[in-house]
Structure 1
Amino acid sequence: MPRLEIHRLGLVPYEPTFADMKALTAMRGPETPDQLWLLQHPPVYTLGLAGKPEHLLEASEVPLVKIDRGGQITYHGPGQAVIYLLIDLARRKLMVRQMVNLMEQAVIDMLAGLGIAAERREGAPGVYVGEAKIAALGIKITRGCSYHGLALNVDMDLAPFSRINPCGYEGLACTQLADLGIALSVDEAHSLLAAQLEKLLEERFPLTIEAAGFSN
């Protein structure tokens, strides 16, 4: 049975974490455990493989990092619950679209437990509350395995989103749990969201959940 390890990394810089995800995926073997990395990043914009630089509307002190996931531009910063999913999709018999749906559903189910009605949108990956986006997601599949993941806005400075077209959509509003009257720490949000991801993954393949530390 594959194990699912939970790694709480805290506040970590983006680029070394990106490099660690790629390195782990490159060295994975049939027995390598799947992992969820729970973390936050200092302020950073990330631009996907086919991303258009013009979606950065205003230069600022926030760095822009070009990466290998799909999608356009998004923002990460303190107060946002990021979970990276390093999952062997082939081993779990998951298709890419199923994985995307699973990630969205985990956020939707978590928010429903907090009394918030959220939904996905066809052709626009992520999770929305009304007209505003509360969670972004994007993954890269290499050798049948995923990395990158999702980001849920908890209690953060949303101003940097106004300097981009979030996920390539002009004028797209972004929201967060704090603005919806939900007082949660990022750690609490991580725990709730990781539990939903575990549950949905378990429905597709039995797991042994193992909490673990992480070191480079």
Structure 2
Amino acid sequence: MNSVVIRHFSGLQDYQPTYQRMVDFTESRDADSVDELWFLQHERVFTQGQAGKAEHVLMPGDIPVIQSNRGGQVTYHGPGQLMVYLMIDIQRKGLGPRQLVSHIEEALVATLKTFGIDSAPRADAPGVYTKGRKIASLGLRIKQGRSFHGLALNIDLNLEPFQRINPCGYSDIQMTRIADELDDAPAFDVVMAELQQQLVTTFGYDSSQLIKPL
């Protein structure tokens, strides 16, 4: 089995029910369950990783802070940021955690290169960076050989909320977005389509099926 179901969620999604749906899917799947990639945008929210430290949440103001069981520290999600949740049976694919992260970073770098942005991961701080600024974040969890949570790519979101936290636990990280790196930035859906193809290719899926949830 080497296919993947791709789900595009329309509108802005509340974090908590999406998170619970992802957990339920992961806990209920078996050896025959097809992998899934979920593409969506969230309502404004700060999410705190499993080992997140409260001191990295500086002044959340009117944006809720929600505890999550992913790895990493606090980050921000909101309109204009592409979220991709990767429910992958990495044991079935013969991947370890480091290879999973590398595959995701490779797909992000390839996507950004398509639009003329040179980027690269950093060994000391997971994610993808361009000109020293962070443009994509990763936060993952693996349970019984299956991954969930995923990546966040900044396309045209408002970056101000990142000033209210230490992004991913680093006080000196500057954030950026595709809209600030290009004079003629591609539309959100164009970036999403390219990243979708890069992920399918990087993870070596033979086929994909697009489903738009109600």
TM-score, normalised with respect to structure 1: 0.95
> Deviation string for 1:146-184 (max 9, x for gaps)?
110000000011000011111000021100000011422
Q: Aligned partner of 2:202: which letter?
A: L
Task: Write the distance in 1 (CA, Å) between the matches of 2:99 and 2:192.
Answer: 22
Structure 1 residue 208 displacement after superposition: 2.1
Q: What is the SS of the residue equivalent to 1:174?
A: coil
Q: What is the SS of the residue equivalent to 2:112?
A: helix
Q: Aligned partner of 2:9: which letter?
A: L
> Deviation string for 1:36-73 (max 9, x for gaps)?
10000010001101110110111310000111011001
Task: Write the distance in 2 (CA, Å) between the matches of 1:185 and 1:25.
Answer: 31
Query: Are the aligned partners of 2:60 and 2:165 in contact in 1 as well (CA < 8 Å)?
Result: no
Match of 2:203 among 201, 204, 208: 201
Q: Aligned partner of 2:185: which letter?
A: A
Query: Are the aligned partners of 1:83 and 1:190 in contact in 2 as well (CA < 8 Å)?
Result: no
Q: Aligned partner of 2:210: which letter?
A: A
1:1-216 superposed matches below 5 A: 1-10=1-10, 11-181=12-182, 182-202=184-204, 206-215=205-214
Structure 1 residue 209 displacement after superposition: 1.1
Structure 1 residue 189 displacement after superposition: 1.5
Q: Aligned partner of 2:24: which letter?
A: A
Structure 1 residue 113 displacement after superposition: 1.1
Unaligned residue ranges in structure 1 (runs of 5+): none
> Deviation string for 1:65-120 (max 9, x for gaps)?
11101100100000001100000001111101000011111110111111111011
Q: Aligned partner of 1:187: which letter?
A: D
Structure 1 residue 198 displacement after superposition: 0.5
Query: Are the aligned partners of 1:135 and 1:150 in contact in 2 as well (CA < 8 Å)?
Result: yes
Task: Write the distance in 2 (CA, Å) between the matches of 1:111 and 1:196.
Answer: 10
Q: Aligned partner of 2:209: which letter?
A: E
Q: What is the SS of the residue equivalent to 2:102?
A: helix
Task: Write the distance in 1 (CA, Å) between the matches of 2:29 and 2:211.
Answer: 17
Query: Are the aligned partners of 2:6 and 2:38 in contact in 1 as well (CA < 8 Å)?
Result: yes
Query: Are the aligned partners of 2:103 and 2:202 in contact in 1 as well (CA < 8 Å)?
Result: yes
Task: Write the distance in 2 (CA, Å) between the matches of 1:59 and 1:43.
Answer: 11
Task: Write the distance in 1 (CA, Å) between the matches of 2:92 and 2:71.
Answer: 22
Q: CA RMSD in A?
A: 1.1
